[in-house]
Amino acid sequence: MTTHLTETRLQDAGEGLGDTVEFMKYTSFGNTFIIVDETATPLADDEHRAAFARWVLNGDFGIGGTDNVLYLRSVEDFGGAYEEGDFAFRIFEQDGSETLSCGNGLLSTAAFLARRAGGSEWEVLTELPTGRPRPVAVGLGETPGTTWINVGWPRPTSEDLYRRPVPASPEGIDAVPPLEVPMPQHEPWAAGLPETITLHGLLVFTGEPHMMLIEGRGLPTELAERIWVDVEGHGVGMPDTPEMAASNRLVHHVGMHVNQTYKDLFPQGVHLNFARVKGDEGLIEYRTWERAIDCETLACGSGAVAMAHIARTQGLIEGTETTFWPHKCRWYEPDARLGVVVTDDGFLLTGHPKLVCQGSTPKFP
């Protein structure tokens, strides 16, 4: 399927639009991205990148239905500023802000580069806003349609993202102080829950700051019972059941409260990963609420890597391979799963991104 805006549509969008921006839209387990190849259609500067992201991600005036815009540029375009990497990966949010990295975004980038640049493996610079860009390897998997990224080793969360009261563990994991979250008793979805629940999380950095809340070990059972909702035969586009809607409200309430109330700990926000370990053979089911976009997404790749690292160091899983079930994505795609493997060079994340459509949009809406 190819989507093209007509010439009339471009003229109606406003005067002085100039050139257009070519894009491909990818989905990776329900995470969706507009990917712009700036080697073909460059934008003028970051002000235009932010404006384009705000417009194209808006469902009323742009394309909508997408989480982020990914901009890819050749490292050579930076005039020798960077010595490593083939391409620079930048990810912009719906409010025009730039964030650090994204596992599913990088999985989609590998599929995109296979179409646009050729080859089967590339080195991509991430985390540019930190001023310390980090190269990661991405490539095509052996199974047709699969891609992989090697995110290296999880790291302690930097002080500008987490103001730790005590040092991190040797594995780079922080035991976050207890987080109190009030439950609004007047809301139907909170009926029967305690007035306040207490969360105990474990934090590590894998391109984004991820806090893992493990059922039975920091995620209270009464909360977990409402997070995991069994759904059968629920297709894409079908309205959520009351149980699904109530569970969504609960996850969103917890994510928003932690990110709004605990800025003394997380000045720029934190990803929350609600997880349950299903046996010790390496299967984890999870849901992720993401900072910056302030909502739950259907899956999270960098979160899966963070949870694999934490679960292994806590002795909750064995072996070098971990399978992740993105719980909310599996409401619509029951077979959805991500893989994380520990290699000699770091953690390898594998997935199956899919091209949704491609087309062009005005450069300056």
Look at residue 13 and tell me whether its pLDDT is greater than 70: no
Cα→Cα distances 250→187, 241, 265, 287, Å: 10, 14, 22, 12
Least confident of 8-12, 27-31, 144-148, 197-201: 8-12
Compute the average pLDDT of residues 85-113: 94
Joined tokens for residue 61: 């005036």
Q: What confidence tier does 17 reach under pLDDT thresholds 50, 70, 90?
A: very low
Compute the average pLDDT of residues 26-55: 93
Rounded to a whole number of angstroms, the CA Rg of the chain reads 20
Q: Do residues 120 and 110 make contact, with C-beta atoms less than 8 angstroms apart?
A: no
In a domain, 110, yes or no: yes
Q: Tell me: the pLDDT tens digits for 42-91?
A: 998 999 999 999 999 999 999 998 999 999 999 888 877 787 889 999 99
In a domain, 90, yes or no: yes
Identify whether residues 24 and 51 lie together within a single domain: yes
Q: Residues 219, 30, 334, 106: what is their CA dihedral angle, to the nearest 10 degrees? A: -90
Least confident of 7-21, 258-272, 345-359: 7-21
Identify whether residues 86 and 18 lie together within a single domain: yes
Identify whether residues 240 and 93 lie together within a single domain: no
3-class DSSP assignment, residue 24: strand
In a domain, 166, yes or no: no
Q: Residue 49 sits in a domain of what CATH number?
A: 3.10.310.10
Compute the average pLDDT of residues 4-11: 30
Q: What confidence tier does 238 reach under pLDDT thresholds 50, 70, 90?
A: confident
Identify whether residues 134 and 218 lie together within a single domain: no
The tally of domains found in the chain comes to 2
Least confident of 11-25, 71-85, 86-100: 11-25
Query: Which residue has better confidence, 6 or 265?
Result: 265
Compute the average pLDDT of residues 350-357: 96
As a whole number, the mean pLDDT across the chain is: 90
Identify whether residues 66 and 125 lie together within a single domain: yes
Identify whether residues 179 and 139 lie together within a single domain: no
Identify whether residues 200 and 301 lie together within a single domain: yes
Q: Which residues contact 330 (CB under 8 A, 6 or more apart)?
A: 231, 336
How many Cα atoms occupy the beta-carbon half-sphere of 127 within 13 Å?
A: 16
In a domain, 80, yes or no: yes
Q: Tell me: the pLDDT tens digits for 273-284?
A: 999 999 777 899
* DSSP letter for each residue of 200-262: --EEEESSSEEEEEEETBEE-HHHHHHH-----S--TTPPPPHHHHHHHHHHHHHHHHHHHH-
Q: Do residues 3 and 36 make contact, with C-beta atoms less than 8 angstroms apart?
A: no
Identify whether residues 221 and 338 lie together within a single domain: yes
Residues spanned by the domain of 57: 7-154+354-362
CA 8, chain centre distance (Å):
35
Identify whether residues 49 and 182 lie together within a single domain: no
DSSP state of 160: T
Identify whether residues 21 and 137 lie together within a single domain: yes
In a domain, 163, yes or no: no
**pLDDT score for 364:** 62
Q: Let me know the angle formed at the C-alpha of 244 by 240 and 250, rounded to the nearest 5 degrees.
A: 130
In a domain, 2, yes or no: no
Identify whether residues 104 and 212 lie together within a single domain: no
In a domain, 169, yes or no: no
Identify whether residues 64 and 113 lie together within a single domain: yes
Look at residue 14 and tell me whether its pLDDT is greater than 60: no
What's the pTM? 0.88
Nearest to 85 by CA among 125, 51, 44: 125
Q: Do residues 208 and 31 make contact, with C-beta atoms less than 8 angstroms apart?
A: no
Q: Do residues 173 and 202 make contact, with C-beta atoms less than 8 angstroms apart?
A: yes
Compute the average pLDDT of residues 324-349: 95
**pLDDT score for 6:** 29
**pLDDT score for 365:** 58
In a domain, 168, yes or no: no
Look at residue 120 and tell me whether its pLDDT is greater than 80: yes
**pLDDT score for 188:** 94
